[in-house]
């Protein structure tokens, strides 16, 4: 029943926009639902008011459906996080967020974008591969997995300048 209601509320046109400090609670909640190590609302708010951080969000109907966030350093940026709510995945929202984000970064003079992704994160690897990111290095045993397993982090890069 709850799943049905969530799906109903998440219908409609996706509305993409720059994220502001008012999105901190929704981003923290989505981050906590998406990653093993959560960010507190205060941490997210601190990032959103940081002039060196760029973030966009997408809302569908009444659902906060996703966000993407990068930190800038000179003409480089690192994507810190991207997540789409589970009931909104597989509809191209991450692709739209990433496209808008890369346009914003390019507009700010960024020439190279980096990120780290778990070698087993198939949706994210597909998303970034399609957007032109290429693997430049690999950090072994970087992400802890349940049962004492670990996974490598792939470091991906895309030039946009």
Ligand X SMILES: CC(C)(COP(=O)(O)OP(=O)(O)OC[C@H]1O[C@@H](n2cnc3c(N)ncnc32)[C@H](O)[C@@H]1OP(=O)(O)O)[C@@H](O)C(=O)NCCC(=O)NCCS
Residue 1 makes CB contacts below 8 A (sequence gap 6+) with none
Least distance (Å) between residue 88 CB and ligand X:
7
Q: Is residue 99 at the binding interface for ligand X, with CB under 6 A as the rule?
A: no
Q: Is residue 60 at the binding interface for ligand X, with CB under 6 A as the rule?
A: no
Distance CA 106, CA 159 (A): 10
Q: Is residue 120 at the binding interface for ligand X, with CB under 6 A as the rule?
A: no
Q: Is residue 104 at the binding interface for ligand X, with CB under 6 A as the rule?
A: no
Cα–Cα distance list, 74 to 50, 52, 79, 110, 153 (Å): 15, 9, 14, 7, 24
Q: Judged by CB under 6 A, which of 41, 112, 121, 143 binds ligand X?
A: 121
> Contact at 8 Å (CB) between 145 and 112?
no
Q: Is residue 36 at the binding interface for ligand X, with CB under 6 A as the rule?
A: no
Q: Judged by CB under 6 A, which of 77, 83, 102, 154 binds ligand X?
A: 83
Which residues would be at the binding site for ligand X (CB under 6 A)? 34, 82-84, 89-95, 117, 121-124, 126-127, 130
């Amino acid at each position: 029943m709850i799943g049905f209601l969530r799906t109903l509320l998440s219908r409609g046109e996706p509305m993409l926009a720059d994220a502001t400090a008012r999105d901190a609670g929704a981003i923290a909640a989505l981050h906590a639902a998406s990653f093993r190590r959560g960010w507190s609302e205060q941490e997210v708010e601190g990032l959103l008011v940081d002039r060196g951080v760029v973030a966009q969000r997408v809302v569908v109907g009444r659902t906060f459906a996703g966000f993407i966030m990068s930190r800038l350093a000179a003409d480089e940026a690192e994507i810190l996080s991207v997540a789409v709510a589970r009931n909104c995945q597989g509809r191209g929202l991450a692709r739209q967020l990433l496209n808008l984000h890369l346009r914003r970064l390019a507009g700010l003079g960024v020439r190279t974008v980096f990120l780290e992704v778990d070698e087993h994160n198939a949706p994210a690897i597909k998303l970034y591969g399609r957007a032109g990111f290429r693997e430049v290095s690999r950090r072994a045993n970087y992400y802890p997995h349940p049962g004492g397993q670990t996974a490598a982090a792939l470091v991906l890069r895309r030039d946009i300048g």
